[in-house]
Amino acid sequence: MSVLDELTASLPDGVVVTDPVLTDKYRFDRAADPGAGTPLAVVRAMSTEQVQTALRWASEHRVAVVPRGAGTGLSGGSTALTGGIVLSTERMRDIAIDRLSRVAVVQPGLLNAEVKQAAAEAGLWYPPDPSSFEICSIGGNVATNAGGLCCVKYGVTSDYVLALEVVLADGRALRLGGPRLKDSAGLSLTKLFVGSEGTLGVVTEVTLRLMPPQPPPRTVVATFADTHAATEAIVAITSTLRPAMLEYMDRTTVNAVEDHLRMGLDRSAAALIVARTDTEGSTADRELAQMVAAFERCGAGEVVSTDDPAEGEAFTLARRQAIPAMEKKGKLLLEDVGVAVPRLPALVSGIEAIAAARDVTIALIAHAGDGNTHPLIVFDPADARAAQRAQTAFGEVMDLAIELDGTITGEHGVGRLKQPWLAAQVGDDVIDLSRRIKAAIDPLGIMNPGAVL
């Protein structure tokens, strides 16, 4: 019996998939890492016990394990490795909601939108909202510490994770944290596992804090004739109030979205900002007035407010569709760089300078209110020199973020594509410490090798 047959025999039929037609779909995540390998097998686990079985086998035979949620990762964290297995949690999809504690216990394969939906049916709200929320899994959200549009006021995935069940490389299943809102008992292992991108173990259950429903938002949209004025308006707003959303799109993305959705966006604007408050009554009036005043003071062209949630939602949809719309324009290198908000103007103008110097198109969208931008480098993959220039610009954008005391990734994770830049951001001592922690948890180094560290 081969080593792989041993694994297949130890799990129910259909869990271990080796047919290349099927396994090929698990080679790449949305980052389409050109270095993707061909996995030995894909394990589509249906339970914690099956994950344990797979990891015990992997430890015994020192086989690399790439954990995978919905495969929507943007940094190559789920790129398959030749000779390794892909451990997919897509079939682990249970959810239980406790209304009184405002807590959801979720398996990792459930999509973010399905968690939101289940919460809404219980009269509650799960805030984190990556733009890909309809197709990304909650397990992947935990692995990357995913963010989204409402994070500027409501925080990221880590802020909602009260507890995890994780399976370690050696097959042990551990419960970290619990359904308590406050807990200072021992090292914060729950927080350590959030954002660890499958390098420490496999998340098999997540306990999420839920919120009472969000009040109906009020939206204000502003256009700007130059990007610097737009980013100055962002700084003016965030230094005095906490909007429920503060999103930015530049001309290239506005036009791509308009090509895609035909919703009547102003194609001539250099930048468009979508801002929201979800406060109520006089507070909302005051916050909207403050935002409008900041836009006008910074020289906005058009400023439009709406109390109609549907109209406000249309602008949010436009923002959410920016990446799919840009994907129609060519091959993308997706960045996720972030800085302290006052450095946003310098980051945006620096990115424009890189685009000019390297003769590449860099479309820019941003969760501007928390300084997290997504420069999208778009190029024709058939043009080798353009692809090379895009790759150079990709690195230079991260170098710029690091120079501005920023981060190479705000919410997508390091994966494999940004791994070469991590040390420049955090320093060799932090890399060394991270490696020592990784080795303490995964001594054989089988968990997602090559990702992050």
In the complex, least distance from residue 248 CB atom to its own copies, rounded to whole angstroms: 14
In the complex, least distance from residue 439 CB atom to its own copies, rounded to whole angstroms: 7
Q: How far is CA 10 from CA 85, 323, 391, in A?
A: 15, 41, 44
How many CB atoms sit inside 10 A of residue 199's CB? Answer: 25
Taking the least distance from each CB to its own copies, the nearer of 242 and 389 is 242
3-state secondary structure 326-369: HHCCCEEEECECECCHHHHHHHHHHHHHHHHHHCCEEEEEEEHH
- DSSP per residue over 374-402, as a string? EEEEEE-TT-HHHHHHHHHHHHHHHHHHH
Taking the least distance from each CB to its own copies, the nearer of 193 and 379 is 193
In the complex, least distance from residue 315 CB atom to its own copies, rounded to whole angstroms: 22
Taking the least distance from each CB to its own copies, the nearer of 8 and 48 is 48
Residue 391's contacts (CB-CB under 8 Å, 6 or more residues apart) are: 333
Taking the least distance from each CB to its own copies, the nearer of 11 and 336 is 336
CA dihedral 367, 369, 371, 372 (to 10 degrees): -20
In the complex, least distance from residue 184 CB atom to its own copies, rounded to whole angstroms: 5
Taking the least distance from each CB to its own copies, the nearer of 14 and 212 is 212
How many CB atoms sit inside 10 A of residue 23's CB? Answer: 18
In the complex, least distance from residue 405 CB atom to its own copies, rounded to whole angstroms: 6
- The distance from CA 230 to its chain's CA centroid, rounded to whole angstroms, is 24
Residue 221, CB half-sphere, CA atoms under 13 Å: how many?
19
Taking the least distance from each CB to its own copies, the nearer of 255 and 335 is 335
Contact 44, 15 (CB under 8 A): yes
Contact 243, 291 (CB under 8 A): yes
In the complex, least distance from residue 264 CB atom to its own copies, rounded to whole angstroms: 31
Question: Collapsing DSSP states into helix, strand and coil, what is residue 234?
Answer: helix
Taking the least distance from each CB to its own copies, the nearer of 15 and 232 is 232
In the complex, least distance from residue 167 CB atom to its own copies, rounded to whole angstroms: 11
Contact 364, 248 (CB under 8 A): yes
In the complex, least distance from residue 269 CB atom to its own copies, rounded to whole angstroms: 25
Question: Collapsing DSSP states into helix, strand and coil, what is residue 246?
Answer: strand
In the complex, least distance from residue 345 CB atom to its own copies, rounded to whole angstroms: 11
Taking the least distance from each CB to its own copies, the nearer of 114 and 165 is 165
Given phi > 0 = left and psi -120 to 50 = alpha, else beta, which region is 212? beta
Residue type, 398: M
Taking the least distance from each CB to its own copies, the nearer of 7 and 104 is 104
Task: Tell me how far apart the alpha carbons of residues 65 and 78 are, in angstroms, rounded to a whole number.
Answer: 10
Taking the least distance from each CB to its own copies, the nearer of 240 and 268 is 240
In the complex, least distance from residue 355 CB atom to its own copies, rounded to whole angstroms: 23
In the complex, least distance from residue 156 CB atom to its own copies, rounded to whole angstroms: 6
Taking the least distance from each CB to its own copies, the nearer of 5 and 285 is 285
3-state secondary structure 267-317: CCCCEEEEEEECCCHHHHHHHHHHHHHHHHHCCCCCEEEECCHHHHHHHHH
Buried b / exposed e over 413-446, threshold 16 CB at 10 Å, is bbbbbbbebbeebbeeeeeeebeeebeebbeebb
